[in-house]
Chain A
Amino acid sequence: AQSVAQPEDQVNVAEGNPLTVKCTYSVSGNPYLFWYVQYPNRGLQFLLKYITGDNLVKGSYGFEAEFNKSQTSFHLKKPSALVSDSALYFCAVRDWGDSNYQLIWGAGTKLIIKP
């Protein structure tokens, strides 16, 4: 069965420090991987995706993510955190072989950036 795990409910980082939000996945075939961010009382905003090609994917707001096939991971990273990065982050996956467009969602990780 397909699944996504975000092992940390919350991540605390000091402003200016690098941040990492972890995501591991399980699919039967090849994955499409996505990261989204959600601010309070808002919908989700697309940050970046991995389809194929380079394992390091760059996205919006200075975020990037590294696809690691052997570890089945797709961790979200940013070299220098901003207070405004504080939000809820979701990782999602879809198997290439699926005929529908549904995504499997992680539980979300709350990112808190302290000044």
Chain B
Amino acid sequence: GAVVSQHPSWVICKSGTSVKIECRSLDFQATTMFWYRQFPKQSLMLMATSNEGSKATYEQGVEKDKFLINHASLTLSTLTVTSAHPEDSSFYICSATGGPGNQPQHFGDGTRLSIL
């Protein structure tokens, strides 16, 4: 149980393109979803926290207009990287939890984004 599906797994696109990444909880209701960015050989950097039906809470330094997050249902959250540039190239990972706070986050397999 507790499966999170993330698509696509790999994206290569030209600079200026917008890219949408989907994160779905397949067998549970995800009241809260998280979006992380991971640089090579580094830990996870939390970008934003989203709760179903409300606006995402972004971490300091993360551009809201660059990284659009929508959590429209209890099973789906999307991250759109708008007008992507090479510096946005990274590994993006989503996670989801149905709560309460002592429950683990369940992770998608990540999306490798390469902007040319």
When distances are taken between beta carbons in the complex, the residues of chain B under 8 Å from A36 are 104, 107
Chain A: minimal CB distance from B48 (Å): 10
Interface size class of A (residues with CB under 8 A): 20 to 34
Establish whether residues B43 and A102, one from each chain, have CB atoms under 8 Å apart when the complex forms. Answer: no
Establish whether residues A107 and B42, one from each chain, have CB atoms under 8 Å apart when the complex forms. Answer: yes
Q: Which residues of B, 1-41, contact A by the 8 Å Cβ criterion?
A: 2, 4, 6, 32, 34
Establish whether residues A102 and B110, one from each chain, have CB atoms under 8 Å apart when the complex forms. Answer: no
- B68 contacts the other chain (Cβ, under 8 Å)? no
Please judge, given known A-B contacts A49-B102, A107-B43, whether A101 and B97 are in contact too, CB under 8 Å. Answer: yes
Establish whether residues A102 and B109, one from each chain, have CB atoms under 8 Å apart when the complex forms. Answer: no
Establish whether residues A46 and B110, one from each chain, have CB atoms under 8 Å apart when the complex forms. Answer: no
Please judge, given known A-B contacts A90-B43, A107-B43, whether A100 and B104 are in contact too, CB under 8 Å. Answer: no
Q: How far is the CA of A43 from the CA of B95 in the complex (A)?
A: 9
Establish whether residues A102 and B46, one from each chain, have CB atoms under 8 Å apart when the complex forms. Answer: yes
Establish whether residues B105 and A105, one from each chain, have CB atoms under 8 Å apart when the complex forms. Answer: no
Residue in A41, A49, A108 whose CB lies within 8 Å of B110: A41
Establish whether residues A43 and B43, one from each chain, have CB atoms under 8 Å apart when the complex forms. Answer: no
- A25 contacts the other chain (Cβ, under 8 Å)? no
Chain A: minimal CB distance from B110 (Å): 5
Using a CB–CB distance below 8 Å, which chain A residues touch chain B? 32, 34, 36, 41-46, 49, 51, 90, 94, 96, 98, 100-103, 105-108
Using a CB–CB distance below 8 Å, which chain B residues touch chain A? 2, 4, 6, 32, 34, 42-44, 46, 49, 91, 93-95, 97, 99, 101-102, 104-110, 112
